[in-house]
Structure 1
Amino acid sequence: MKKMKNALRKHYIAPYDPEHPDTVPEESAYLWIAKGVKESAPENDEDTDDAAYFDGDGTPEEIVISKKRGRSFEGHRDYGDAAQNYVADLEDAIGDELLCWYKEVQADGKQLKEGPARLSEIEIGDGEASEFESIKFKITWIKKPTKKAVVSAS
């Protein structure tokens, strides 16, 4: 089994156009979330219910009713990075101002997930005086992302 480092998983963010909510952004609109980012973690929130059925032995099954998926990011603030600046510009935004597009390419580069999302939990500048300024934020898809194979540009 081939193992891959987390750094090979690519994350991108692009502006959301409320007048064309289902139009996937052009590749050139996507900004790579990487510079200064030290950590990334899945953010999953599921609503579940338990049910037991007569075709079983009466043992309840956990059924997933709904699911929110996304990712949190944390690292050092870099004022020269376009993706970080995009997020930082929305630090005081609320509601639909926080809508964006989020794309995640798996580490082997063969498949991606993409869809409209929402930024939240934007925090900039935390820590001791001797530390580098930080940036933290979360991106959550607002509906099930589209999965597709990555097509190489060759």
Structure 2
Amino acid sequence: MAKTVDIGFALNYQYANLLNITPEEDEPTWAYMGPGIEDISPDRSEKTDETEDYSTGGNTVTTVTGVTKTTSVTGKRRIGDPLQDYLASLEECFGDERETQYRCVSPTGEIIEEEVTLKDINMSGPNGAASDKQAISFGMARNDTPTLIQPAKGHHLPATIAVEDVTVSVGKTEQVTPTVEPATSSDWCLYAIENPDIAKVTADGIVEGIAAGKTRLSVKCAAKPSIRATVDVVVSEA
């Protein structure tokens, strides 16, 4: 049985932030908001109604009637990153093209989804001193009540992970399903393909075969990245 260790104070990197980069498709493609991203800061402002009448003894009764949430994101431009390239493609777009879905995976495994509008997109260069990495920024304005996709699994850190090798054909996909222990820890993982010319992987672990060959897939627990595994990915001709 895996040893249980409490999460304790949650660190910001333990949250996995995802953006759907194909909102026009029936099935979402989740991209990880990680490479090059340095700061993610939500801001909530509340709309209130203040009333006083004879029944309150002259005291004011405050009622929260609405919540506005905007999240600001800053970092450095990483060309080739799926999420950043998607944002760059929207810089001169407006209307419905700026609307998509955002997911936040907590260290407890809880997954919350929000309908958002992407705003204040600044992905073009140059932006900064000559030898600096190009600075980027964008915002996400929430448009609706958040949806609970998955409840929290518990308050423990991952201790072990097991992942099977992946076999997939060119043009086909295969879902990677890590087994993380203890069961009271988040099983959300971060994925990276060694050779993207052979295969690619989405933020939720869907591997697609690109060309026949063999490569490696790295899988690590978002809540505790030191818990990781590396497996083979074999892509065969269709």
**CA gap 1:54/1:146 in 2 versus in 1, 3 angstroms:** farther
1:20-35 to structure 2, matched below 5 A, reads 25-26=27-28, 29-35=29-35
Could you tell me how far 1:65 is from its partner in structure 2? 1.8
Residue aligned with 1:96, SS? helix
Letter aligned with residue 116 of structure 1? E
**CA gap 1:83/1:109 in 2 versus in 1, 3 angstroms:** farther
Bigger Rg over Cα: 2
Q: Which residue of 2 is the match for residue 100 of structure 1?
A: 100
Q: Which residue of 2 is the match for residue 6 of structure 1?
A: 12
RMSD: 2.3
Letter aligned with residue 100 of structure 2? C
Query: What is the CA–CA distance in structure 1 between the aligned matches of 2:57 and 2:72, rounded to whole Å?
Result: 40
Letter aligned with residue 8 of structure 1? Q
1:1-150 to structure 2, matched below 5 A, reads 2-14=8-20, 15-17=22-24, 25-26=27-28, 29-106=29-106, 108-124=107-123, 125=125, 126-147=127-148, 148-149=150-151
Q: Percent same amino acid at aligned positions?
A: 23
Query: What is the CA–CA distance in structure 2 between the aligned matches of 1:57 and 1:143, rounded to whole Å?
Result: 36
Could you tell me how far 1:45 is from its partner in structure 2? 3.1
TM-score by length of 1: 0.82
Letter aligned with residue 138 of structure 1? G
Residue aligned with 2:87, SS? helix
Residue aligned with 2:56, SS? coil
Which shows bigger deviation, 31-40 or 123-132?
123-132
Gaps spanning 5+ residues in structure 2: where?
1-6, 154-176, 180-238
Could you tell me how far 1:59 is from its partner in structure 2? 2.1
Gaps spanning 5+ residues in structure 1: where?
none
TM-score by length of 2: 0.55
- Cα contact 1:16–1:116 (8 A) shared by 2: no
Which shows bigger deviation, 51-60 or 132-141?
51-60
Letter aligned with residue 96 of structure 1? D
Could you tell me how far 1:54 is from its partner in structure 2? 4.4
Residue aligned with 2:86, SS? helix
- Cα contact 1:43–1:140 (8 A) shared by 2: no
